[in-house]
Amino acid sequence: MIAPDVSAEPDSLVVPMDTGDRIHYLDWGGPVDAVPDVPGEPPGRGVSLPPLLLLHGIGETAWSWAPVARRLRRLTHVLAVDLRGHGLSDAPAGGYELPSLAMDVLTVMVANGWAPDASGPPAVLAGRGFGAGVAVAVAAERPGAVAGLALVDGGWEDVGRNAGDDPEQVVKGLAEPPEVLRSMEAWLGDRRGFDPASWDADQERAARAQVEQKHAGHVVPVLRRHALLGTVSAMLAYRPDELLPLVSAPVLVAIAGVPAPDDESARDRELELADALRLPRGPVRLVRFPGAGHNLMRYVPDALAAELAGLLRLAGGVDPRRT
């Protein structure tokens, strides 16, 4: 188990795109000595692991990754990005297609001296839900920039095939009930109620980052409707059978829960996973987290961080069993 650095406070930074739009990210830093020792080896024989970049799902922000970032910053340099339109990133009228979102991420990497375009090291990318699809798009666009890929409960599904191709209907389904948005207290209480045992300061900060409070006291999502519609459209247009075969880096697939025998949607999801695993690609490790919800960063941060640490070591040329 990797203990979280509870005192760490990330730097809040922005990178301007060529269009003038700004992408915000949290820089969690890295280990003080920058070269972590490998367990089982004498001190001083550490290796430099690839840097790590974290991508959230629809409607979330970079803060959703805080529990994992606090643990993995002990091993390597960690960044968590607010996708375009989310969090503190700008929300322009357009640019929500997957290639544009991938370019946003690549620009953040290059600004930090990562990837061949900056004559720097490739990074491990981890994305949850829709963020996994963005991570795949980055790896497909610039294979040399990605040393490893973690698909956290997403990234292998053709959501458009299952949900239909009408983003308006999907957006309606994502709407929060009015009573949840009537006040900040109601919003936080609703989010706390998902799992009171895992609620802490980081979870509250992540929840607060998703909304803004109006003078009348109610809250509204930070993710504006046009940006949500554009992001959902990109999610529905994502085709894993086209992009995953372009990924040559090692892949970690982390799956929340275990499908129930009578759950038709879960069975369909399992069939899509099987199809994705048959595609030509780099080596894959499949890990399931029984009983955990979709937000694996909140519910099983220790176990997820351990799996990501193994991927970091594998991508860095170290036996991943030494975690």
Rounded mean pLDDT, 38-62: 77
Nearest alpha-carbon partner for 53 in 18, 17, 101, 6: 101
Nearest alpha-carbon partner for 137 in 243, 50, 282, 275: 243
Q: What is the pLDDT of residue 155?
A: 95
pLDDT higher than threshold 90 for residue 164 = no
- Residue-wise pLDDT for 226-248, tens only, equals 999 999 999 999 999 999 999 99
Contact 281, 149 (CB under 8 A): no
User: Helix, strand, or coil here: 90?
Assistant: coil
pLDDT higher than threshold 50 for residue 44 = no
Burial class (CB in 10 A: 0-12, 13-18, 19+), 283: exposed
Rounded mean pLDDT, 253-268: 79
- Residue-wise pLDDT for 89-129, tens only, equals 999 999 999 999 999 999 999 999 999 999 999 999 999 99
Confidence tier at 47 by pLDDT (50, 70, 90): low
Distance in angstroms between the alpha carbons of the first and the last residue of the chain: 8
Helix axes 130-141, 225-237, angle to 10 degrees: 60
Helices (H), 154-278: 159-163, 167-174, 184-193, 201-209, 225-237, 240-243, 264-278
Q: What is the pLDDT of residue 209?
A: 98
- Name the token pair of 27: 């820089």
Give the Cα-Cα-Cα angle 38, 110, 253 (nearest 5 degrees): 55
Rounded mean pLDDT, 152-160: 92
Confidence tier at 250 by pLDDT (50, 70, 90): very high
Q: What is the pLDDT of residue 45?
A: 45
- 54, β-bridge pairs: 80, 126
DSSP letter for 182, please: S
> Could you state, in order of their start, the residue ranges of all structural domains in the chain?
11-164+224-315
- Name the token pair of 300: 């099983």
At residue 250, what is the residue type? Answer: P
Please give the backbone phi and psi of residue 19, each rounded to the nearest 5 degrees, phi first. -80, -10
Q: Which of the four CATH numbers 3.40.50.1820, 3.40.50.1370, 3.30.420.40, 3.40.630.30 does domain 11-164+224-315 have?
A: 3.40.50.1820
Confidence tier at 266 by pLDDT (50, 70, 90): confident
Q: What is the average pLDDT value for the chain, to the nearest integer? A: 91
pLDDT higher than threshold 90 for residue 42 = no
> Out of 77-81, 255-259, 287-291, 313-317, which region has the weakest mean confidence (pLDDT)?
255-259
Nearest alpha-carbon partner for 58 in 229, 261, 242, 244: 229
At residue 299, what is the residue type? Answer: Y
Q: What is the pLDDT of residue 46?
A: 54
**pLDDT above 90 coverage of the chain, percent:** 79
Alpha carbon 121 to its chain's center: 20
- Residue-wise pLDDT for 174-212, tens only, equals 999 999 999 999 999 999 999 999 999 999 999 999 999
Stated pTM of the model: 0.93
